[in-house]
Amino acid sequence: MNLEDLYRLLRSEHVQAQGIVDTLEEPLLVLDATGCVLTANRGFYETFRVGRDDTVGRSLFALGDGQWDIPELRQLVSEIIPRSTAVVGYEVTAEFPTIGKRTMLVSARRLVHPDNNSSSVLILFEDVTDSRQRDVQKDILLAETRHRMKNLLGIVRSLANQTEVEGRTAKEYRDAFLGRFQALAEAEALALASSAEADLGALVEQSLQGAGPERYRVTAGPAVRLKSRQVMPMRLILHELVTNAWKYGAFSKTGGLVHLSWRISEEQGKDVLHIDWREENGPPVTPPTRSGFGSRLIDLSAVQGLGGTVELKYEPTGLRAHITAPVES
């Protein structure tokens, strides 16, 4: 049932209209001309975790002690709807009472009652928070795949050029080249692999194992179980830090060392994960003159993928990175 079907149903004032509307999973409100709630369906009460007595008869913008007084909603009801017959897919991102920050697509339709020429407004809500997050994950993965393919082709070319040909038969050259290529392919498969959940400590060790235990020191914090949506961004961040260390940092020089640690703090009633990456004894480090793809990918993964922050410091003694992310229960 779409918005037009609901409009015809409610406009007819069919005796079964409310019962049919209550079968809808999508939250629905009907407002009078002043913006007060005339009725709401079961989907609205269940989605926003409110009761009928706290909803019906009250102004939309007074719901939740005024927490529904959201600028986008006020503009929709007071400015856009009066000038339009219907509005479909109006995006609203806000901190909703009881359910937190969500992204909703709001559709609205003016109802004109022919008997007394009065009007009301039918409003439907569609929660697209999770789908938006999945879109972000896909964008990150696509960008990383493009970047990785470019690097991979360059490395393959380098392998082909550096594999010795002097004094070798074609078969010996082929076997040597394919052996290195297989090792490269396995490393790429490991970096791109993901799972429903992952232990942070295991993920850290997996990312660093190629360097050898003498090249890094891990100071483990409390056990952290990453949720499915956090696994891929965290993998990408660790992969980019390790790759950068091999190219320009501590892993590129004998005696170079990477220190990695994590801890959890409580901020505003929520647990926050802090990860610190510190390099030493590598080549001298200077801040880059421009932001490369790797650093942009780390920032994108931390901010949009993990919902946290990242700070990169190019100190003379080595790169330092501080990453934060919410700990999801």
pLDDT tens digits, the chain, 329 residues: what are they?
455 555 555 555 544 445 555 567 788 888 888 888 888 888 888 888 888 888 888 888 888 777 788 888 888 777 777 776 677 888 888 888 788 888 888 888 877 766 666 677 888 888 888 888 888 878 877 887 787 677 667 667 756 775 667 777 888 888 777 766 765 565 456 555 654 567 899 889 888 887 888 899 999 999 998 887 787 788 878 888 987 888 788 988 888 999 999 999 998 888 999 999 999 999 888 888 777 667 877 888 888 888 899 999 999 889 999 999 999 77
Q: What is the pLDDT of residue 14?
A: 44
Euclidean distance between CA atoms 29 and 57, whole angstroms: 12
Are 81 and 75 in contact by the 8 Å Cβ rule? The answer is: no
Could you please report the per-residue DSSP string of 189-222?
HHHH---S-EEHHHHHHHHHGGG-GGGEEEE--S
Are 251 and 245 in contact by the 8 Å Cβ rule? The answer is: yes
Q: What is the pLDDT of residue 16?
A: 43
Q: What is the pLDDT of residue 263?
A: 96
Instruction: List the chain domain ranges.
Output: 3-127, 129-193, 195-329
DSSP state of 61: G
User: Count of CB atoms within 10 A of residue 196's CB?
Assistant: 8
- Compute the 3-state secondary structure of the chain and give helix, strand, coil in percent, each to the nearest 5: 45, 25, 30
User: Count of CB atoms within 10 A of residue 20's CB?
Assistant: 15
Would you identify the CATH topology of the domain 195-329?
Answer: Heat Shock Protein 90 (3.30.565)
Length of the chain in terms of residues written? 329
Q: What is the pLDDT of residue 33?
A: 80
Reduce the secondary structure of 248-306 to three states and give it as a string.
CCHHHCCCCEEEEEEEEEEECCEEEEEEEEEEECCCCCCCCCCCCHHHHHHHHHHHHHC
**Superfamily of the domain at 3-127:** PAS domain (3.30.450.20)
Euclidean distance between CA atoms 27 and 55, whole angstroms: 13
